[in-house]
Structure 1
Amino acid sequence: MEIKSLKPSELRWTCPPDMFDFDKSSELEPSKEIVGQDRAVRAVKLGLEIPNSGYNMFVTGVSGSGRETTVKRILDQIDTSTDKLTDLCYVYNFDDSTRPRALVFPAGEGKQFKEGLELCVELLKKNIPVVLHSESTAAEKGALLESFSLQKKEKMEEVEKASVEAGFAVVSIPTGPGQSRPDVLPVIDGKPYTYEELQQLAAEEKITPEKLKEYRTLHTELFKLLTSAVRHAQSVEIKAQVEIEKLFRRILKPTVTGILDRLTGLGDDEPAEYVRRIAETILSNISVFAANSEEADPYVIFEVNLIVDNSECKKRPVVVEQFPDVVRLFGNIDRVVIDNKPYSDHTMIRAGSFLRANGGYLIINAMDVVRQPGLWQTLIQTVRNRTVITRPNEITRAFMPVELQPEPIDVDVKVILIGPGWLYSTLATQDPDFGYLFRIRADFDDRMELNEENIHDFAGVIAYICQSESVHPLNRDAMAAIAEQAVRLTGRHDRISLKFNMVADYVRQASYWAAQDGRDTVTSEDVAKAIREKEYRLSLGEDYATDRILEDQVMVDTEGVVVGQLNGLAVYSGVDHSFGLPSRITATVSPGVEGIVNVERESEMSGRIHTKGVYVITGFLREHFASDYPLSLSAGIVFEQSYGGVDGDSASSTELYALLSALSGVPLRQDLAVTGSVNQHGKIQPIGGVNYKIEGHFKVCSHRGLTGTQGVVIPESNVVNLQLSQEVITAVENGKFHIYPVSTIEQGISLLTGVEAGRKSSHGTYPADTVLGMADGRLRQMAETVRDFGGRH
């Protein structure tokens, strides 16, 4: 059966000339719609609208497929209005200053509470001194002081009377600068004498020893009375101070509570309890709060730290955290250095994205999270417990430890992670909490079906990109060229790409080249130049590799026929550029029992998939031959001049063709390159990178000179993937290059040899003049050789 080469129209999808009815894309209605992502959109809406716990979302897909934009647009479309948002505050903890209290208010009331308390503090600062220094307060205070003064005076008068009767007097003895102590001393001739002075008088015999002893005994008794009076006076002073404080509390209580009553009705019971503690603190420390100290303001502990203010919000907050780390997600505690010591208090607590997103949505790039040590674990703990704990920055805390532990805050946040599919799979298998906490996966496609409706939607998005980025509009031919390039990006000519970040690059660069030529409209020539220029910028490595083939440093034949030798095709992929090139594959055979030796595997250069492909070839031989004789061969298959790893099974059909040629002795065409995977039954299976592979072989052939017979053999199932360059299509149109689709090994070997493959008869044999018949004959011969050799030894 003759294998026909593909027609030019089968090699590329070409946008119909009448697809667009505009002259410039600026005439189109720019589309902000979410194109081609119906499955993902439905998943996103489900995840956003289900309020239950655990319905957080992981959005997967390739970068540039519009994942974040889509989530934001759906959030704009759905009703996110709510009256359940809250304000979050931290305040001083009167029981333990190292554990600030969290107060939660309905949205707007937190700001009112903060501003209300600030006003209350100002009023308290002004009114407390006024009340304390009023005439009525002074009168009551004076009456109290007079009463207690009389009590002290009466006791002291008793001591003075007893002292006079005993010939003593109450005096004050200096003990230091500005200091003295009371004492009782005997009076002789109107002068009080100390004990040392009395001893001196006794030594001078001015008083008798008996008199000295009498003075000493009386001093002891009177000093006891004086000490008792002093202690009584101190007790009276303490009682006076207590009574004065009670007086001040009684007088100030209506003022303090009246001022703080302005805060009544804000929040629930906890703010009310906090206000009660403020009043209690002021009334219990009146002297502190009545003092006008410029150095330390005692009212500073009443400052409210409003860390989340939703007073202006009517919809659920949507927070996109572009730079997630522990501080930005969960907040921080600032600190200052006072007297060379670190200091923090409740006013230095800062909210992170989690608290700012409370009641709404938090969007984070999952890759940014897992790149930060420990951040994923903290995120999972927070989502699982629905509680945010704010801690100091770990680095700062190591050098400046401050024991401040703010009260945890309960949160209701729907977390939306955006990341690649492989990360989703890894987290789902490695983290037992992941599946429970992230129950919705929204998987964004990178392509959509190629039909007229979708192409028009695609054009609307391109028009929006042009408008929003001030890019020159495209004419209809340029739009068609962009659509064709978007089709090529998918690797299928029945799909069009949704990687709008990549597509937009071609639009921007085409606009640049149009501007360089002085045009304000992009043409198809500008698009073609943008594509060529990008290829040129990125193809340095490709050119070096191609030059090595053209210079025969890497041996690849593109003419003639050779036994056991064929050109395979490989794709070389970099970060931003992929290309294909031919590579020589050879096979040798001899009698033996080693079977097929995979040289790449033996040299530890073969990947697992490539090794599997070689085993599949052995399965093909078992099915097609050796039904009545043992398979007795030693065969070597090798990628010549391959010095890196080899993986994938796309060359397995090529290896099998080379092996069949070596067995049959029938030479293979060197002007054709082959790609395709094969199964044990000889069916050719599709492979990846078919466009790169065809263009790589074409490039080598065109540099050497096209002969009109050269081409590529591809799996028939890969025809749908063709979106070849115009250069290849032109060569095919001119009969200079050919693309042959095959579905079986038999078709391929007939094309490559010009000899019939052969069909197995009911007796298990092939016609002798066919490739498979000659291979079967050689295998039988080798089996006999191995048998005879074994018998002789």
Structure 2
Amino acid sequence: MTDPQPATTALPATALRARLDPATLGFETTATLAPLDHLIGQDRAVEAILLSAGIGHKRFNLFVHGPEGTGRHSAVMDLLTQEAARRPAPTDWVYVHNFDAPERPRALHLPRGAGQRLKLAMQELVDDLANDIPALFESEDYQRRRAAIEEQFGGQQEAAFAALGRTAHDRGVAILRTPMGFALAPMKDGEVLKPETIARLPEAEQADIQAKVAATERDLEAFLKSVPRLQKDHRAAVARLNADMAQNAVEAGLDRVIEAFRGVAVLEDYFADLHRDLIDNAELFLQAGQREGDGAFPMAAVRLQDDLRFHRYAVNVMICRPADITEGAPVVHETLPTLSNLTGRIDHISTMGTLVTDFTLIRPGALHRANGGFLVLDAARVLAEPLAWDALKRCLETRAIHVITAAERLGLTTTTTLEPDPIPLDLRVVLVGDRRLLRLLEAFDPDFGELFGVAAEFSDEMDRTPAAIDAFARLVASVAAREGLRPVTAGGVAALVDAASRHAGDQRKLSLRVNAIWDILREADHLAARGGAATVTEAEVTGAEAAAERRADLVRERMQEMIARGTILISTRGSVMGQVNGLTVAQLGARAFGWPARITARVRMGAGQVVDIEREVKMGGPIHSKAVMILTAFLVTRYAPDMPLSLWASLGFEQSYGGVEGDSASVAELCALLSALAQVPLSQALAVTGSINQMGEVQPVGGINEKIEGFFDTCRAQGLTGRQGVLIPRQNVENLMLRADVVAAVAEGQFHIHAIGHVDQAIALLTGLPAGRRGLNGDFEPGSVNANVEVRLMDFAEARRDFARHDPTGPAAADRDE
């Protein structure tokens, strides 16, 4: 069977770059085009986003992924905003004081716009009561009724004491008031008897006096015991009066609030608890009124609201929409998704050296603000924030917003804390990330698939069809109109289309990394402004492209400078045995550039070993090591198949200090190895790129434009001779979107690009000799490179066998025995 050797094709200049003819666009400037109101080339992603936005099941949260620069965030925000505009506006949620359990604030669901009205109504009620209750307790009616109570209970106490005095007087006992209390003394004829006088009285009379004093003492004791009861009854009567008066003031003010919210059933129990608490704590308003009157100016309402004792009557609005806005769900993009920014937080204030809190210090998070609508988050940022991802999943699983602080989750809190009622959650969460992060979550987070059941993948390219070009032109018109840029001429749009194809690295594709394209458009508009032009033309677009490349070109220039000065050894003239120019590419951020690399091979008789120097010193990656093993397999199976491979060979990238990865140099490495075996020099005017398989077929590689341009720049620096060029895989022809100067050099015959499909084509171009086919006799054509390779390998095998005969204990003999 003969080896495939399709004819070598030197590509014409027209095959090196797709160029759109502006005349085919059918307009002069984008000012005449209708703007495009939807994405192009992202039909799958749009379908997924609309599904997630429209379906109500909790599993259908969305993960948006795709390459950077495809407009994922802006597209998601636009589509969600359109969907949100068709939804009803969410209703209100507030926190109020729980009068039975203050540590568990109550969450109340109110009609749209009622939250803020309730908050203002409660502020007004508190302010009114702070004025009305003190005024009511200073009223003439209150003073009259209080005086009646004082008179009633004061009279009862005085009457009882007077009766006690009269009884004691009838017994001949005087009740004396002393600084130490009451004292009893016997009397006779209105005079207090002295102890010595009593002592001179008969015993019977003394006993009678003692009995009367003891009886009076018992009556006095009974009177004194009745005094606290009278005072208690007095206080109860005053409390009943105060409650009646407070109730009048509270009911007068609270009735107005209740009437304003009649029909809101959820407030009925709250108003009942509020009514009872206001009456029980009327003293607070009396104290506030007294404090207000102490100063030269009346106390401002805001100061009253700041009094912690009055926080119990406040309303903490968490979610609120104006009552007149009935449509439009929220779309919230939280750029810093910390735990507190997502689920809310509970603040504390310092009082008397202690941190305290209450329900008015509960702050809403992004979940509260987005409730009823959509929440857009950056996936990597959520996962990077401690506790945020777990909290988000818990809220989505329970469909409720739980306000839990990080200190509480970690068990670090030592201050008073709260357990607010969870607020029901009804929203769609959209995570924006990359494909790798999506796969990691799917693999390692079992909860992820249960919550995020839809993935929207943004593509980085689309087919370059006439319909796509028309849509692209309208998209250019939309961006120019939206950002206030100058209209773009047909030539400018054609240049942007070509730029999109170059960014895609494919003549049949358009890049959808539109951010980079719009940056070119913006810079082109800036150049047009500086030049005083009314439109953006092809000249400004190509000028903006060149300027952007020049700004990011420092490293490439330094590499080319080192090649020009001979620091990096690269030759573009002459022929050298076992040496070839390979091509490599570097990616520095968004900028990629290529440059040539010298690849060398050395051979001698051995035991069938091909040494990959990069792999041996651990500077070669696994893909490069695999490529070397593949070319070794091709070498072993193609040449001298009936004889053991008696070869020792080494392959290396000269002046490579940063590691080698990839298989795009395997064709060049094989050509260097074949050159060393056949002892045929390779042209240094040609550079080679391409991967190879075990059949010798050349396979496509990436970065083809940058690699060609890198070698072209080196050849131009050393002087174009008309013989220089690049060998590329024929499958990469459609990926060619080369710079205009490279295309011009090819058109003038100063540079050449050859598309190859087999290593035989590469070796023929590099040596100027036929690669050679196997004839019917099984031998390669005499004088061909393949024939020389096979003869050399057979010579190695004969030499190794002869060496083994003369040295039966040598390595060759050991290999033979094995």
Give the alignment's TM-score, normalised by structure 2. Answer: 0.88
- Could you say what secondary structure the match of 2:371 adopts? coil
Give the one of 684, 688, 700 matched to 1:670: 684
In the other structure, the counterpart of 1:101 is 106
Is 1:351–2:364 an aligned residue pair? yes
Q: CA deviation at 1:508?
A: 1.6
| 8 A Cα contact 2:343 2:391, kept in partner | no
How do 1:107-126 and structure 2 match up within 5 A? 107-122=112-127, 124-125=129-130
What amino acid does structure 2 have at the position aligned with 1:541? V
Distance in structure 1 (CA, Å) of the matches to 2:705 and 2:721: 21
Find the counterpart in structure 1 of residue 802 from structure 2: 788
Q: CA offset at residue 119 of structure 1? A: 4.3
Structure 2 counterpart of 1:310, one-letter code:
R
2:359 partner amino acid: H
CA–CA distance in structure 1, aligned partners of residues 202 and 752 of structure 2: 145
Distance 1:268 1:757 in 2: 92
Q: How far is the alpha carbon of 1:662 from its aligned partner? A: 1.4
- Pick one of 483, 491, 494 that aligns with 1:477: 491
* Alignment match, 1:263: 258
Q: Which moved more, 1:111-120 or 1:649-658?
A: 111-120
Alpha-carbon distance between aligned partners in 1 of 2:367 and 2:693, rounded to the nearest angstrom: 53
Name the stretch that deviates more: 507-516 or 243-252.
243-252
1:274 to 2:279 alignment = no
Identical positions, percent: 35
Of residues 619, 625, 636, the one that matches 2:639 is: 625
Q: Quick one: which of 601, 619, 622 aligns to 1:608? A: 622
Q: Structure 2: how far apart are the matches of 1:547 and 1:563?
A: 26
Q: 1:324 aligns with which of 323, 333, 337?
A: 337
What SS is found at the alignment partner of 1:62?
Answer: coil
1:307 has 2:307 as partner? no
Counterpart-to-counterpart distance in 1, 2:786 and 2:415: 82
- Give distance in 1, aligned partners of 2:188 and 2:554: 121
Distance apart, 1:434 and its partner CA? 1.2
Matched, 1:584 2:584: no
Aligned partner of residue 291 in structure 2, secondary structure: coil
Question: Which whole-Å deviations, capped at 9, do the CAs of 1:579-601 have from their partners, x for residues lacking one?
Answer: 10000001111122251111001
- The answer on 1:160 being equivalent to 2:165 is yes
Rounded to whole Å, the distance in 2 between the matches of 1:9 and 1:214 is 146
| Structure 2: distance between partners of 1:773 and 1:146 | 136
Out of 243-252 and 45-54, give the one that drifted further: 243-252
Partner SS for 2:781: coil
Give the distance between the partners of 1:513 and 1:434, measured in 2 at CA. 48
SS at match of 1:35: coil
Q: Do 1:245 and 1:286's aligned partners in 2 also have CA atoms closer than 8 Å?
A: no
Instruction: Letter of the 1:338 partner, please give it.
Output: T
Match among 224, 232, 237 for residue 238 of structure 1? 232
Q: How far apart are the structure 1 equivalents of 2:220 and 2:367? A: 70
Describe how 1:171-250 pairs up with structure 2 within 5 A. 171-174=176-179, 181-184=181-184, 222-246=216-240, 249=243
Alpha-carbon contact 2:704-2:736 (below 8 Å) kept? yes
Is the Cα–Cα contact under 8 Å of residues 104 and 267 in structure 1 kept in the other structure? no
| In structure 1, distance between residues paired with 2:25 and 2:208 | 131
Question: For the aligned residues, what is the CA RMSD?
Answer: 3.2
- Which of 414, 429, 450 aligns to 1:415? It is 429
Distance in 1 separating the partners of 2:514 and 2:99: 57
Q: Distance in 2 between the 1:219 and 1:755 partners? A: 150
Report which stretch shifted further, 705-714 or 157-166: 157-166
- How much does 1:311 deviate? 2.9
**8 Å Cα contact 1:565/1:586 also seen in 2:** yes
Shift of 1:672: 0.6
What is the SS of the residue equivalent to 1:668? strand
Cα contact 2:602–2:650 (8 A) shared by 1:
yes
Write out per-residue CA displacement over residues 657-706 of structure 1, whole angstroms, 9 at most, x where no aligned residue. Answer: 11111122222111110111111111111111000000000000011111
Query: For 1:757, what is the secondary structure of its paired residue?
Result: coil
Give 1:40's match in structure 2, choosing from 45, 48, 53.
45
Aligned to 2:297: none
Q: Displacement of 1:567 after TM fit? A: 0.6
CA contact (8 A) 2:387 2:406 kept: no
User: Greater CA deviation, 351-360 or 522-531?
Assistant: 522-531
Determine the C-alpha separation between the residues in 2 that align with 1:209 and 1:383.
Answer: 100
Partners of 2:101 and 2:263 lie apart in 1 by: 22
Pair 1:734–1:142, CA change in 2 (3 A): same
* Partner residue, 2:20: 15
Partner of 1:736: 750
Aligned partner of 2:445 among 402, 419, 431? 431
Aligned to 2:398: 385
With 406-415 and 575-584 compared, the bigger mean Cα shift is at 406-415
Q: Does 1:365 align with 2:378?
A: yes
Which residue is equivalent to 2:519?
Answer: 505
State yes or no: 1:486 paired with 2:486: no
Match of 1:442 in 2: 456
Kept in 1, the 8 Å contact 2:606–2:646? The answer is yes
What whole-Å deviation, never above 9, does each CA across 1:237-293 have from its counterpart, x for those lacking one? 323433554465567657645754543766865532221111121233444455534
**Cα distance change of structure 1 residues 83 and 44 upon mapping to structure 2, 3 Å threshold:** closer
Unaligned runs of 5+ in 2: 1-5, 293-303, 810-818
Tell me which residue corresponds to 1:178: none
Between the aligned partners of 1:267 and 1:630, the Cα distance in structure 2 is 98
CA distance 1:93–1:2, change in 2 (3 Å): same
1:624 to 1:701, Cα distance in 2 relative to 1, 3 A: same
Q: Is the 8 A contact 1:88 1:103 kept in 2?
A: yes
Aligned with 2:332: secondary structure? strand
Equivalent of 1:681 in 692, 695, 704:
695
Unaligned runs of 5+ in 1: 176-180
**Measured at CA, do residues 188 and 438 of structure 1 come closer, stay the same or move farther in structure 2, by a change above 3 Å?**
farther
CA 1:565/1:214 → structure 2, altered by over 3 Å: closer, same or farther? farther
Partner of 2:665: 651
What is the distance in 1 between the residues matched to 2:35 and 2:604?
Answer: 68
Higher mean displacement: 83-92 or 446-455: 83-92
Opposite residue 279 of structure 1, the aligned amino acid is H
Shift of 1:758: 2.5
Letter in structure 2 aligned against 1:96: A
For residues 116 and 209 of structure 1, do their structure 2 counterparts lie closer, same or farther at Cα, with a shift above 3 Å needed? Answer: farther
More deviation, 89-98/634-643: 89-98
What corresponds to 1:294 in structure 2? Answer: 291
Residues 705, 119 of structure 1: CA spacing in aligned structure 2 closer, same or farther, 3 A cutoff?
A: same
Cα shift readout 1:190-228 (whole Å, capped 9, x = no counterpart): 6879xxxx8xx66x9988999999988876764554343
Matches within 5 A, 1:386-401: 386-391=399-404, 401=415
TM-score by length of 1: 0.90
Amino acid aligned to 2:770? E
- Amino acid paired to 2:368: L
Q: What residue is the counterpart of 2:94 in the other structure?
A: 89
Deviations 1:556-615 (A, max 9, x none): 111111111111000011123211000000111112225111100111101111111111
8 Å Cα contact 2:492/2:536 also seen in 1 = yes
**SS where residue 179 of structure 2 aligns?**
strand
Distance in 2 between residues matched to 1:726 and 1:328, nearest whole Å: 51
The answer (yes or no) to whether the contact 2:507–2:734 under 8 Å persists in 1 is yes
Q: What is the deviation of 1:63?
A: 2.7
Q: What secondary structure is seen at the aligned counterpart in 2 of 1:613?
A: helix
Do the aligned partners of 1:711 and 1:738 also contact (CA within 8 Å) in 2?
Answer: yes
Instruction: Give the Cα separation in 2 of the matches to 1:545 and 1:217.
Output: 127
User: Match of 1:518, SS?
Assistant: coil
Contact 1:31 1:460 in 2 (8 A): yes
CA–CA separation in structure 2 for the residues paired with 1:398 and 1:182: 61
Worse overlay, 407-416 or 239-248 = 239-248
Q: CA deviation at 1:90?
A: 1.1
Matching residue's letter, 2:607:
V
Deviations 1:730-781 (A, max 9, x none): 0000011111111111222222222222234566543343222221222222
Q: Are residues 787 and 208 of structure 1, via their aligned partners in 2, closer, same or farther at CA, if it must alter by over 3 Å?
A: farther
Mean Cα deviation higher: 123-132 or 622-631: 123-132
Between the aligned partners of 2:642 and 2:548, the Cα distance in structure 1 is 58
| Cα drift, residue 443 of structure 1 | 0.7
- For structure 1, which segment, 219-228 or 82-91, has the greater mean C-alpha deviation from structure 2 after superposition? 219-228
